[in-house]
């Protein structure tokens, strides 16, 4: 791409080149002289922030995407959001189905590809019954798409082997919320940011991974200088630049730190006794064990006094005490977290303890407060949580193990009683292990790239090679698509209608504005190296998500 500096800036719709290399690469878009037939409201399809967009269409093509000024994002988009148009027209957009013949993926008609997919599934079902097939989906699918897949596999085929990439991402938060509050629903909303006086950011690098939400936090810091920011991260990141207190703890020691903060809050009486009395149950009693009281909890936490865990956490006890004090005295504290907690082996405990800090201090249910888990993928909440597209779940919080819930769905789906299996299916990692072992013989993978994103991906790639694999993606090739027996090209955001949810549980309708690309359109290539050489524009700094970068980089690099 041979652009002048001015054209490059116009291209990204940025007001300043600094926007590209600064923290989070935030850009504000502006009105430009690009002729547009019509404007439409939409949403960015790249992450769980759910930035609202305004989309210009002309001649059957999307010609402009900019941040919606009246949206919660105040017109801002990050670099990924600014590329929503480009992703539709990149040179490696998948455009036709493919079927593996003599070891090679070759172009096929839709009829041939669908026949081949059906034949592969039929054979697997004949050999191993319903549990020999599986669906592996994604928080990148529309709610309607996930719902339909769930219905087809659980209600139609009769297997609960339905799972998806949110298992790698949000599972700890989901179970944290479910076990503490009874429902997997993040508390609070973006409007709380303007009311918070403390942001407790733990295991999240918001400046790079949720940059537009972070920019709203920074707006608050700019306009209310009394605002405090604690960031708990073993690394220095662009997010820690705004921290009043950066706790650079040893990885994996968050539960000890959070316990120590709870210990300190209880011991210095910075808890909200009236709130606890009215709303908090430490643990209900059972036939075998009496209920846990506040005093029991305080005794349990004696092992976690700040000076006892300081070495383990690689922090000083004074730092831990200060974090607890800031949390306890704050008028309104809001927590944000993502993978730094969720991907720990004890991620659920870490989630529960963040929630516990809010409950102990009554920092919940008022403007500017609440434990607010940030969603990773655009529609993990709406598409996967709400539709129950997971091995143990059914739509709207129902469970496959509950007879009442199964009957409910059987009635709604017009199925005979007993069609939905009472046995939970295989969650993500076990699912791919079962493919390795030859127990799951055929799988449909949609809108995710597990050959790249699973932990120990090499091990599970073996399973994907062995099984009959149908892959649907809008980009070709991905690592997973290369292992497919049948590849199906997918329409993307504005090429189809559907619903995306986001972190604060707002639902967005994505309208169909253009037809999916049917043939090779104009090739668009962009390379950071040439942009840097020609225009002094630097690739944004990314932290720790290297394994994620490759598929996306391939999608837009030349």
Q: Is 435 a catalytic residue?
A: no
* Residues within window 361-380 making contact with ligand MGD, judged by CB under 6 A: 376-377
Q: Name the DSSP class of 541.
A: P
Strand partners, 162: 135
Q: Which of 9, 65, 68, 77 binds ligand SF4 (CB under 6 A)?
A: 77
Instruction: State how far the Cα of 367 lies from the Cα of 197, in Å rounded to an integer.
Output: 11
Q: Is 85 in the site for ligand SF4 (CB under 6 A)?
A: no
Q: Is 104 a catalytic residue?
A: no
Q: Is 186 in the site for ligand MGD (CB under 6 A)?
A: no
By beta-carbon proximity to ligand MGD, the closer residue of 124 and 350 is: 350
Long-range contacts of 455-459 (CB under 8 A, 24+ apart): 455/168, 455/429, 459/433
Is the Cβ–Cβ distance between 362 and 333 less than 8 Å? no
Give the sign of the dihedral formed by CA 349, CA 352, CA 357, CA 359.
Answer: negative
Is the Cβ–Cβ distance between 416 and 155 less than 8 Å? no
By beta-carbon proximity to ligand SF4, the closer residue of 363 and 375 is: 375
By beta-carbon proximity to ligand SF4, the closer residue of 80 and 406 is: 80
Q: Is 189 a catalytic residue?
A: no
Q: Is residue 22 exposed (0-12), middle (13-18) or buried (19+ Cβ within 10 Å)?
A: middle
Given the residues 169, 353, 409, 435, select the one marked as catalytic. 169
**For residue 86, cis peptide bond before it (omega within 30 degrees of 0):** no
State how far the alpha carbon of 400 is from the alpha carbons of 138, 154, 409, in Å.
Answer: 20, 9, 10
Which stretch in 30-38, 192-200, 274-282, 547-555 sits in contact with ligand MGD by CB under 6 A?
547-555
Instruction: State how far the Cα of 49 lies from the Cα of 209, in Å rounded to an integer.
Output: 9
Task: Return the residue nearest ligand SF4 (CB atom).
Answer: 81
Binding partner of residue 237 among ligand SF4, Mo ion, ligand MGD, none, CB under 5 to 8 Å per kind?
Answer: ligand MGD
By beta-carbon proximity to ligand MGD, the closer residue of 253 and 406 is: 253
Which stretch in 129-137, 337-345, 388-396, 505-513 sits in contact with ligand MGD by CB under 6 A?
337-345
Q: Pattern 31-50, binding to ligand SF4, x per CB under 6 A? A: -------------x-xx-xx
Q: Is 261 a catalytic residue?
A: no
Q: How far apart are the first and last CA of the chain?
A: 9
Which stretch in 190-198, 220-228, 274-282, 446-454 sits in contact with ligand MGD by CB under 6 A?
446-454
State how far the alpha carbon of 3 is from the alpha carbons of 9, 20, 532, 557, in Å.
Answer: 9, 16, 12, 15
* Residues within window 184-213 making contact with ligand SF4, judged by CB under 6 A: 210-212
Instruction: State how far the Cα of 162 lies from the Cα of 170, in Å rounded to an integer.
Output: 16
Is the Cβ–Cβ distance between 84 and 500 less than 8 Å? no
Instruction: State how far the Cα of 156 lies from the Cα of 153, in Å rounded to an integer.
Output: 5
* Residues within window 143-172 making contact with ligand MGD, judged by CB under 6 A: 165, 168-169
Is the Cβ–Cβ distance between 199 and 219 less than 8 Å? no
Q: Is 170 a catalytic residue?
A: yes
Structure tokens at 345: 């082996």
Instruction: State residue 110 phi and psi, 5-degree precision.
Output: -60, -40
Tokens 């709400």 identify what position?
Answer: 386
Q: Is 492 a catalytic residue?
A: no
Binding partner of residue 50 among ligand MGD, Mo ion, ligand SF4, none, CB under 5 to 8 Å per kind?
Answer: ligand SF4
Binding partner of residue 503 among ligand SF4, Mo ion, ligand MGD, none, CB under 5 to 8 Å per kind?
Answer: none
* Footprint of Mo ion (CB under 5 A): 169, 376
Q: Pattern 87-126, binding to ligand MGD, x per CB under 6 A? A: ----------------------------------------
Active-site annotation, residues = 80, 169-170, 339, 376-377
The residues of the shown chain that bind ligand SF4, judged by CB under 6 A, are: 44, 46-47, 49-51, 77-78, 80-81, 210-212
**Interaction site with ligand MGD (CB under 6 A):** 47, 138, 140, 165, 168-169, 202-205, 208-209, 232-235, 237, 251-252, 254, 338-340, 344, 376-377, 446-449, 452-453, 472-475, 478, 490, 492, 543-545, 547-548, 551
């Amino acid at each position: 791409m041979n652009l002048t500096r001015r054209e490059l800036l116009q291209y990204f719709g940025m007001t300043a080149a600094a926007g590209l290399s600064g923290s989070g690469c935030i850009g504000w878009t502006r009105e430009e002289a690009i002729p547009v037939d019509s404007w439409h409201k939409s949403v960015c399809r790249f992450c769980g922030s759910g930035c609202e967009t305004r989309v210009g269409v002309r001649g059957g093509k999307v010609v402009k995407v900019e941040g919606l000024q009246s949206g919660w994002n105040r017109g801002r988009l990050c670099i990924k959001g600014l590329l929503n148009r480009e992703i539709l027209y990149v040179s490696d957009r998948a455009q036709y189905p493919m079927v593996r013949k003599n070891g090679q993926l070759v172009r096929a008609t839709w009829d041939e590809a669908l026949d081949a997919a059906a034949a592969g599934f039929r054979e697997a079902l004949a050999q191993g019954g319903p549990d020999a097939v599986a669906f592996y989906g994604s928080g990148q699918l529309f709610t309607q798409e996930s719902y339909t897949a769930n219905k087809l596999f659980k209600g139609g085929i009769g297997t609960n082997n339905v799972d998806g990439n949110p298992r790698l991402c949000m599972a700890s938060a989901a179970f944290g919320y479910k076990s503490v509050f009874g429902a997997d629903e993040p508390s609070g909303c973006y409007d709380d940011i303007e009311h918070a006086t403390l942001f407790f950011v733990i295991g999240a690098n918001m400046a790079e991974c949720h940059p537009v939400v972070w920019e709203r936090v920074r707006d608050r810091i700019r306009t209310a200088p009394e605002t405090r920011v604690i960031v708990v991260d073993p690394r220095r990141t662009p997010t820690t630049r705004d921290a009043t207190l950066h706790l650079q703890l040893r990885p994996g020691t968050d539960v000890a730190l959070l316990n120590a903060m709870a210990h300190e809050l209880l011991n210095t009486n910075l808890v909200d006794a009236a709130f606890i009395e009215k709303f908090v149950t430490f643990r209900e009693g059972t036939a075998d064990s009496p209920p846990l009281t506040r005093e029991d909890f305080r005794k349990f936490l004696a092992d976690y006094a700040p000076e006892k865990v300081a070495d383990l956490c690689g922090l000083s006890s004074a730092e831990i005490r200060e974090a607890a004090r800031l949390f306890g005295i704050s008028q309104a504290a809001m927590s944000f977290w993502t993978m730094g907690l969720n991907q720990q082996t004890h991620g659920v405990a870490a989630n529960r303890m963040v929630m516990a800090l809010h409950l102990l201090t009554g920092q919940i249910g008022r403007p500017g407060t609440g434990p607010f888990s940030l969603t990773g993928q655009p529609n993990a909440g709406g598409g996967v949580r709400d539709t129950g597209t997971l091995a143990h779940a059914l739509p709207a919080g129902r469970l496959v193990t509950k007879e009442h819930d199964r009957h409910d769905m059987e009635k709604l789906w017009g199925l005979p009683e007993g069609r939905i299996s009472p046995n939970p299916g295989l969650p993500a990692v076990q699912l791919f292990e079962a493919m390795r072992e030859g127990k799951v013989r055929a799988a449909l993978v949609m809108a995710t790239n597990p050959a790249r994103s699973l932990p120990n991906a090499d091990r599970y790639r073996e399973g994907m090679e062995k099984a009959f694999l149908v892959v649907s993606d809008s980009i070709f090739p991905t690592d997973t698509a290369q292992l497919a027996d049948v590849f199906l090209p997918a329409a993307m955001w504005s090429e189809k209608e559907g619903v995306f949810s986001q972190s604060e549980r707002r639902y967005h309708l994505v309208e169909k504005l253009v037809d999916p690309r049917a043939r090779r359109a104009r090739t668009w290539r962009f390379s950071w190296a040439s942009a840097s050489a020609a225009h002094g524009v630097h690739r944004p700094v990314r932290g720790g998500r290297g394994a994620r970068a490759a598929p996306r980089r391939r999608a837009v690099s030349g």
